[in-house]
Amino acid sequence: MITVEDKIRTFSKYVYEKELNEAENLIKEAELKSEKNIKESELKAKEKCEIRNVKLKKKHELERQKVVSKAKITARDKVFKLKNRLLEDLEDSIESSLEGFAESEAYEKWLFKMIDIYKEFILNQDAVIYIKEKDRIEFAEKLMKSYPRIRVAAGDDRCIGGFIIESENNMERIDYTLRSRLEEYQNETGLIFNEMLEEDFKNDR
């Protein structure tokens, strides 16, 4: 026969086990939720770290590019200034050589040979030949004997040699001064000079 005490004991056991199961379930749910929250927090933290790392990498790359770009500009400016200085030195050297040539024994022969190229022009009309003052003193008489219709005059102070022929009516002008030859070939000299530098640079690499 089941007594009241047995019923109470059985009911108490049922309630206890039920409460225990519910508590265990709540604990498991809490643990799962906690694990989920931890994983989510870890994932978010990882994402934030990755985003931060990406941002840092971009920042470092931008800074690196700025440094490299600045170094390239500085190097380019130095090379440009060096090229200009060397080119100026080269042009000064060429001008000095031309000045030396204009004082040499070969100059007179060259001058008359070049003027003779235009003899049809100066034999058929009145013209003026402009040469440097030193040449005018030395060669004017000889030139006027060869070309009776010309007048010989001194050119400007910048003239280092050569000549300018102008018709008296100022309709035609031939500039064959050494200065004009130098200026005419400056661009070509610059191009050749740059090509030489580039070739030397390639060979040194």
Q: Which of 141, 89, 146 is nearest to 123 (CA)?
A: 146
Could you report how far apart the first and last alpha carbons of the chain are, in Å? 110
Question: How does residue 140 score in pLDDT terms, banded at 50, 70 and 90?
Answer: very high
Q: Read off the pLDDT of residues 109-138 as tens digits, 9 standing for 90 and up.
A: 999 999 999 998 898 889 999 999 999 999
- The two most distant CA atoms of the chain are separated, in Å, by 166
Q: Which of 39-43, 60-64, 73-77, 140-144 has the highest mean pLDDT?
A: 140-144
Q: What is the pLDDT of residue 147?
A: 92
| Joined tokens for residue 80 | 């440009």
Are the CB atoms for 127 and 165 separated by under 8 Å?
yes
Kindly report the number of other CB atoms within 10 A of residue 152's CB atom: 19
Q: How much is the average pLDDT of 49-77?
A: 76
Q: What's the CA gap between 32 and 38, in Å, rounded?
A: 10
Percent of the chain with pLDDT over 90: 27
Are the CB atoms for 176 and 164 separated by under 8 Å?
yes
Q: Is the pLDDT of residue 43 over 60?
A: yes
Q: How much is the average pLDDT of 185-196?
A: 70
Q: Which of 1-15, 48-62, 94-108 has the highest mean pLDDT?
A: 94-108
Are the CB atoms for 156 and 131 separated by under 8 Å?
no
Q: What is the pLDDT of residue 131?
A: 95
Which residue type sits at 96?
Answer: S
| pTM of the full structure | 0.55
The larger pLDDT score, comparing residue 149 to residue 201, is at 149
Q: Is the pLDDT of residue 175 over 70?
A: yes
Q: What's the CA gap between 141 and 144, in Å, rounded?
A: 5
Mean residue pLDDT of the chain comes to 80
Q: Alpha carbon of 189 to those of 85, 119, 167, 177, 203: distances in Å?
A: 14, 31, 32, 18, 21
